[in-house]
Structure 1
Amino acid sequence: MKLLFRSLLLLIIRFLGAPGALLARRRPRPGVRPRILLLRPDHLGDLVLTTPVLSALRTALPEAHLTMMVGPWSSEIVERHPALDELLTFPFPGFQRAPQGALAPYRQLWQAARQLRQGGYDLAINLRPDFWWGAALIYLAGIPQRIGYALQPGAPFLTEALSFPHAEHATRSNLRLASAAIQALGAPALPTPYSAASYPLYFRPTSDEHKWVEDYLQQIGITPEGIVVVIHAGTGGAVKLWRTDGWATLADQLARGELSLPAASLIFTGSPKELPLLEEIAQQMQTSSPIILTTLTVGQLAALLGRAQLVLGVDNGPLHLAVSQDTPSMRMYGPTDDHIFGPWGDTLRHVVLNATQKCADCPSIPCGRLDFTSNELATHPCVRLITEQRVAHAVKSLVQLASR
């Protein structure tokens, strides 16, 4: 059914042509403030990795009106970005982490297109490379210039489809799209190289959020000089999780001051759904129990990560948020390619430990697959095979490098 509806959409664009009668009614006008729309349907981590694009567009096109359309699950990341003029939220199909009917994505497509037609946008950027639904959306919304990557089946809906650079960091790929958009509007391309130093991540906690963290730590007996280590062990895909006994061993070592860092206060963060995981880790520890926080806002979490001396975890959004706060981090990767989704920051302050043993039926590592069923997890232990010794050595090395 999904394939049938995609095929129908492709027939529509072939019938109308590109740009076609639907799009011919409007073109960007010289001297008029250009209106740019950015689409990014993803969750927290991917949105953090997208923030340099907003800053780059604002610097290159200070007069532009920038609108971003994101899922409600990640709007907190960009709603306070100073480069953004307007934020739209939409429950993009396929990203809701909840079942949907077969026809729901197509009903939502027409609904969103009607909404966007009122915006008078001159140019749109489909920031997620494989998001065909987004490419179809900006076409049906009648936006005259539509930029994205040349991946099927979305490429025919674009006016400028860039060749997709495989194994390139996601932030760098997004900056390429931004540069193409800037040039399409008559401005010079973004300066290269696209590096984390030139195009850093952006998220700023408010003064109230910083104060909340200070007050909370004082209430639980952690002084301003106290060493704080945050562990965010959870993630969206179970195959990316490490072992709870491994986390418990590592937490005990940090609490005893054994890894080149003075004895630390441990704070476990996560979502309410991850509370059982965090409690299991805490129960296996031999030292004093850690603090467990599962109801923080994104801003409070960022402020806490910024206060910490070290943040540890797996492949998840909060670890990218830690990079935006310039707090040293160590994370473990298995099925995900860290060349694409690894930390966008100083390599001396952020370390990735990759699994080295591929799983039984995976052709390679990283395999790129995250949708394993619970029955399949036992035969896909790549992250779980990372040893406590490797993790402890990585943490010690990170602490020494970051202190220089």
Structure 2
Amino acid sequence: MPNFPASPELSPPRRIAVFRALQLGDMLCSVPALRALRRAWPDAHVTLIGLPWATRFVERFPSLIDELVVFPGARGFPEQEESDAGLPRFFAAMRDRRFDLAIQMHGSGGPANDIVRQFGAAAYAGFRQPHEARDDGFIAWPEDLPEPHRYLALMRALGIDAKDDALWFPLTPHDRCEYAALETRHGIEPERLIVLHPGAQLPSRRWPAARFAQVADALSANGWQIAITGTSNEAAITAAVLGEMAAPALHLTGSTTLGGLAALVARARLVVCNDTGISHVAAAMRTPSTVIASGSDTRRWAPLDRARHRVLADYPPCRPCAFRDCPYGHTCALNVSVDRVVEAALDQLAHRARAHPAGENVLHARSPHRAKEPGHAT
């Protein structure tokens, strides 16, 4: 065990490094642990070792993280270019910081532990795989726990009281202003809004665009307003959905920042998506979701609240999937039918307070208040 149990009798760590060089959904799953860490040691300077995009995460969570140091990448870490070229300079810079505690929150151990041990910290904590030697501060990887609970278990191993597993995504005044402008421009009606987000970073995690389109048409036919969202990099995916749809929809691809998207999700009646980052945003905003989980380990990544969030999945022998592109015909995705998704979504909507569908395929039920007239898609 590190020499820093969360006890008032001992000096707390002053400089803490947290290694987690992962994407949005992964980072949101670590928020409960980071919150417990900050509550235990409020005066510590916490440095996140992460990916370049995580600048936005640190800006979003200044109460949890003090700064970002960009991890330069390494062989075996596919989130970036897999090269060890930047490691010598990076390790020297980390040793110069003289961390009191370095926490490996990147994964199950192995190469991630090798990286963290080069930081030259006074103490370490993290996870170890079965073949790794037992070491103070490193606990066995809790294979059966959901992702947020794994890192809470690590906090408890540090002597920290860590029970609160709620995800959290704070909205700023700018986020709310962005949403207000979006509502005015596109005629968003939050009392009947469904956010449909068909993208995912890995093709193996994506349900077919044509099926998302059929779901959107069915929900629109039941009087719900459909908004298609995605990043600008997902424009081809969202365009494919819109191209397959017969019903009208709001086309919001590339129209929001991350905070603006979260504010939109917070106002929506339902999110329909793949098992990806926006699923965790919906969980953080307490907005119900229908999640089509293709390939992923649902035991690890599914939202914790199974009443608010419906996870639809098929389990062929090849699951959980380790491939970027499925080599087996993508049966885990294709075996989740459109009817199954529509049924789950409508059931969730039936239990929502203040949810008010309109007539069949109505894009704007209110009087138009936008700069241009409603069209097939906007």
- Taking structure 2 as the reference length, what is the TM-score of the superposition? 0.83
Alignment of 1:64-83 (within 5 A): 64-81=44-61, 82-83=63-64
Equivalence for 2:289: 329
| 1:75 to partner: Cα distance | 3.4
User: Any idea what SS the aligned residue of 1:311 has?
Assistant: strand
Correspondent of 1:36 among 1, 12, 16: 16
Change over 3 Å in CA distance of 1:61–1:402 after alignment to 2: farther
| Separation in structure 2 between the aligned mates of residue 237 and residue 389 of structure 1, nearest angstrom | 24
2:168 is aligned to 202
**Deviation sequence 1:231-256 (CA, Å, 0-9, x none):** 11111221221122211111112212
Task: Provide the C-alpha distance between the structure 2 equivalents of 1:108 and 1:158, rounded to a whole number of angstroms.
Answer: 28
Aligned: 1:395 with 2:355: no
Q: Distance in 1 between matches of 2:157 and 2:12?
A: 19
Deviations 1:261-281 (A, max 9, x none): xx2222111222321111111
Which string of whole-angstrom CA distances, capped at 9 and with x for unpartnered residues, describes residues 337-375 of structure 1? 21101113x32211100114x2xxxxx2533323336xx
Looking at structure 1, the residues matched to 98 and 146 of structure 2 have their Cα atoms a distance apart, in angstroms, of 32
CA distance in structure 2 between the aligned counterparts of 1:174 and 1:242, rounded to whole angstroms: 29
Contact 2:196–2:229 at 8 Å: present in 1 too? yes
The alpha carbon displacement at 1:218 in A equals 1.0
What is the aligned length?
Answer: 345
* 1:228 corresponds to: 193
Q: What corresponds to 1:14 in structure 2?
A: none
Q: Which has the higher contact order (CA 8 A, sep 6+)?
A: 2
Question: How far is the alpha carbon of 1:134 from its aligned partner?
Answer: 3.3
Shift of 1:387: 0.7
Q: 2:140: which partner in 1?
A: 163
Cα offset, 1:33, TM superposition: 5.0
Q: Which stretches in structure 1 are left out of the alignment for 5+ residues? A: 1-18, 20-28, 184-188, 258-262, 359-363
User: What are the residue-to-residue correspondences of 1:53-68 with 2, within 5 Å?
Assistant: 53-68=33-48
Structure-2 separation of matches of 1:55 and 1:38: 13
Partner of 1:290: 250
> Which residue of the partner structure matches residue 114 of structure 1?
92
Structure 1 residue 98, shift from structure 2 partner: 5.8
Which residue number in structure 1 is paired with residue 219 of structure 2?
254
For the Cα contact (< 8 Å) 2:17–2:48, is it kept in 1? yes
Distance 1:78 1:397 in 2: 37
Letter in structure 2 aligned against 1:137? I
Q: Is the 8 A contact 1:229 1:265 kept in 2?
A: yes
Q: Give the partner amino acid of 1:332.
A: I
Query: Which of residues 177, 200, 212 is equivalent to 2:178?
Result: 212
What's 1:143 paired with?
Answer: 121
Structure 2 segments unaligned to the other structure (5+ residues) = 3-8, 355-378
Please state how far the C-alpha of 1:289 moved relative to its aligned partner: 3.7
C-alpha distance in 1 between matches for 2:352 and 2:186: 27
Asked if 1 retains the 8 angstrom alpha-carbon contact of 2:234 and 2:253, the reply is: no
Residues 79 and 87, structure 1, Cα contact 8 Å, conserved in 2: no
SS of residue in 1 equivalent to 2:86: helix
CA contact (8 A) 1:35 1:122 kept: yes
Counterpart of 1:315 in structure 2 is: 275
Matched, 1:190 2:161: yes
Alignment partners' CA distance in 2, 1:92 and 1:156: 25
Partner of residue 382 from structure 1, selected from 332, 337, 341: 332
Percent pairwise identity: 26
- 1:175 aligned partner, one-letter code: L
Quickly say closer, same or farther: Cα 1:403–1:222, change in 2 above 3 A: closer
SS in 2 for 1:36: strand
Q: 1:84 to 1:273 in 2, by over 3 A?
A: closer
* Equivalent residues in 2 for 1:273-288, closer than 5 Å: 273-288=233-248
Q: 1:103-148 CA deviation, whole Å, 9 max, x = no partner?
A: x22x333222111112221111101223534322332221121111
- Looking at structure 2, the residues matched to 68 and 51 of structure 1 have their Cα atoms a distance apart, in angstroms, of 12
Tell me if 1:348 matches 2:326.
no
Question: Residue 367 in 1 paired to residue 332 in 2?
Answer: no
Aligned partner of 1:13 in structure 2 is none
Residue 88 in structure 1 maps to residue 69 in structure 2 = yes
Return the alpha-carbon distance in structure 2 between the equivalents of residues 40 and 152 of structure 1.
21
Deviation (angstroms), 1:286: 1.3
Please say if residues 135 and 158 of structure 1, whose CA atoms lie closer than 8 Å, have aligned partners that are also in contact. Answer: no
The worse-fitting range, judged by mean Cα deviation, of 85-94 and 379-388 is: 85-94
Q: Structure 1 residues 306 and 249, CA, compared in 2 at 3 Å: closer, same or farther?
A: same
Q: Write the letter of the residue equivalent to 2:312.
A: L
Note the alpha carbon deviations across 1:60-83, whole angstroms, 9 max, x for none: 223333222111133322432112
- Corresponding residue number in structure 1 for 2:5: none
